[in-house]
A and B are shown apart, each in its own frame.
Chain A
Amino acid sequence: MSNVDQNPVKLLELEGVSISQSGREVLHDVTFDIYKGKFIGLIGTNGSGKTTLLRAILGIISPSSGHIRFLNSSKQGRSRNIGYVPQKIDFDPDMPLRARDLVALGLDGNRLGISKRKKSDKLLIDSLVEQVGAADFANSRVGELSGGEQQRIMIAHALISKPELILLDEPLANLDLRSQVEIVTLVSKLAREGNITVLISTHDMNPLLPVMDRILYIANGKVASGEVSEVVTTESLSSLYGHHVEVVNLKGRILVVPEIEEGGFNFLRGIPGNEDH
């Protein structure tokens, strides 16, 4: 399940990071390390600061105190090559942009001026489209694709610049179960092939359990991290969520099953993404 790596290389280091947004301290004194090649799940409720944390790592917002450091690199934040799949993208169905054009934007969308695209770039775009299994719909309007198809394209878009680290913000939200599994399998396969570190935020950790190495749990502005085997136990999860959560082994698969309280799905309150606001 997890990489057995004798000499893990530290990629990223967060030290005492606090971030405030519109008058509220969203993250408080967050400290953790990310090691190269790991598949990390970022778990937390809606509004717990998952997106804020990812945007801080990207260098889009800067912490009010503390440091975010990339090891073995002088480049920080924005100038670094990090792949990013933002959450909840609402593509205009009428927009004249093909799926493969969106992938190409990951390659040169930040450049100024215009130029004819090189043959090698075209081949690269083709191969990425192929790798994420999007060849069938690469020439369709991106706004007309299904949610799962759009996620595949966004993953290709994030990977085309050959990043060391890729951040995915709630890529499984609004997907049906089958698409969720497909996306997780795809990301994990591509990450392993390319030795890419993955940080993926989600409200439901079950789809990630088969591939995840580490968990970052975020709540009340604080972050706790641990190996999956340490965190995903009935005791530890129950205390994190503040509700009883059962970890079961079902035919060799680990599943997290929240306890159903009287009146329906009250347990879901503890689990991100399911709150009725």
Chain B
Amino acid sequence: MAQLGSVFVIAGFFSSYPVRVALVAGLMVAVVSGTVGTFTIIRGQSFAGHSLADIGAAGGSAAYLVNIPAIYGFIGINLVAGLVLEFIGIGRLRGRDLATGIVLSAALGLTALFLYLDTIASTTTNVTASLLFGSILTIQGSSIPIILAVGAIAIAIVMVLYRPLVLSSISKELALAKGIPETKIAIGFLVALALNVSLTAITVGAILSTALLVGPAAIALKLTRRTGRAILIASAIGVIVTWIGIYLSYDSYYWPPHNHGWPASFFVVAIIFALFVTVDTIVRMRRKYLVGKRPAKG
């Protein structure tokens, strides 16, 4: 990374191999998260979406132990966790939170065990840090195909289930009345969520995984009530914010305090948070203004 300092920033930015890999991975990650995230919020599964990132770490640390690529560990345990979540009651409004908590806490226990075994096996503790804070700028170029493949599958599932998902997210009763197999749809969505979160948690880390899943979609749903439009807006916001984050992170190699770069996740989250608060405030002010202007209908 030392030679980075000598290159002109913008030119250096695009010619840097890690940056190009990060931009491509960031694009995919943001689009998948925008798509799946919109439904995650509508279905009230933000907690589950975040938990799968942490649960995945149990699979990741187990995979590390038996020397298979961590992504398979993530995907494997998250698919199982998704099924368990559905089985113990994520569908019920009152039990959703608790069901997620129980599965998460059990998985965290497993993570404790596997990380301990990992550290015995390899005398390194860095695996903990990288599982938690995985950095978008350290993605291997060779993992781009699998990122694209897993992301594409998650998006494909959401697209196939799109109509029933919209319907069952609005009203379960209505969906049942139309003969939609509610449980199958719910499981289908959890599979997409599990794939999405596995992919993002391992490439960009648990923080960015949750931030990109929840943040852009939450902003988009403030701006529009149409699901399709929300997905497009969420994906666009996600991509832009991620790329800005990558750029700033790259640029921050010249920043204080140590000239070794600020994490991209910090920039992405900070921008998302600020954007959310700003959009929310504007939408609120606009509503107040409209009330003053418009009499009651009829």
Name A residues whose Cβ lies closer than 8 Å to a Cβ of B: 18, 20, 22-28, 64, 90-95, 219-222, 276-277
Give the residue of A23, A220, A276 whose beta carbon is less than 8 angstroms from that of B297.
Answer: A220
CB pair B296 A220 closer than 8 Å: yes
Q: Given A221-B296, A221-B298 in contact, is the A90-B291 Cβ separation under 8 Å?
A: no
CB pair A23 B291 closer than 8 Å: yes
CB pair A23 B295 closer than 8 Å: no
Complex Cα–Cα for A25 and B294 (A): 8
Q: In whole Å, how far is A24's beta carbon from the nearest beta carbon of chain B?
A: 7
Complex Cα–Cα for A219 and B288 (A): 23
Q: In this assembly, does B95 line the interface, its C-beta being within 8 Å of a C-beta of chain A? A: yes
Q: Given A90-B93, A92-B95, A94-B95 in contact, is the A20-B298 Cβ separation under 8 Å?
A: no
Q: Which chain B positions have C-beta within 8 A of A90?
A: 93-94
Q: In this assembly, does B1 line the interface, its C-beta being within 8 Å of a C-beta of chain A? A: no
Q: In this assembly, does B290 line the interface, its C-beta being within 8 Å of a C-beta of chain A? A: yes
Q: Which chain B positions have C-beta within 8 A of A28?
A: 295-296
CB pair A25 B296 closer than 8 Å: yes
CB pair A24 B291 closer than 8 Å: yes
Complex Cα–Cα for A221 and B297 (A): 8
Give the residue of A20, A27, A221 whose beta carbon is less than 8 angstroms from that of B291.
Answer: A20
Q: In whole Å, how far is B283's beta carbon from the nearest beta carbon of chain A?
A: 9
Q: Which chain A positions have C-beta within 8 A of B286?
A: 23
28 residue pairs of the A-B complex, CB under 8 angstroms, read A18-B296, A20-B291, A22-B287, A23-B287, A23-B288, A23-B290, A23-B291, A24-B291, A25-B294, A25-B295, A27-B296, A28-B296, A64-B291, A90-B94, A91-B94, A92-B94, A92-B95, A93-B94, A94-B94, A95-B94, A219-B298, A220-B296, A220-B297, A220-B298, A221-B296, A221-B297, A222-B296, A222-B298
Q: Which chain A positions have C-beta within 8 A of B287?
A: 22-23
Name B residues whose Cβ lies closer than 8 Å to a Cβ of A: 93-95, 171, 174, 286-288, 290-291, 294-298
CB pair B95 A25 closer than 8 Å: no
Q: Which chain B positions have C-beta within 8 A of A27?
A: 296
Q: Which chain B positions have C-beta within 8 A of A91?
A: 94
| Closest B residue, CB atoms, query A28 | B296
Q: In whole Å, how far is B178's beta carbon from the nearest beta carbon of chain A?
A: 11
**Which 7 residue pairs are nearest across A and B when measured between Cβ atoms?**
A220-B298, A23-B287, A221-B296, A28-B296, A92-B94, A25-B296, A20-B291
| Closest B residue, CB atoms, query A21 | B291
Q: Which chain A positions have C-beta within 8 A of B291?
A: 20, 23-25, 64
Complex Cα–Cα for A64 and B94 (A): 34
Complex Cα–Cα for A276 and B295 (A): 26
Complex Cα–Cα for A64 and B290 (A): 14
Complex Cα–Cα for A272 and B296 (A): 19
Interface centre among B171, B287, B290, B296 (most CB of A within 10 A): B296
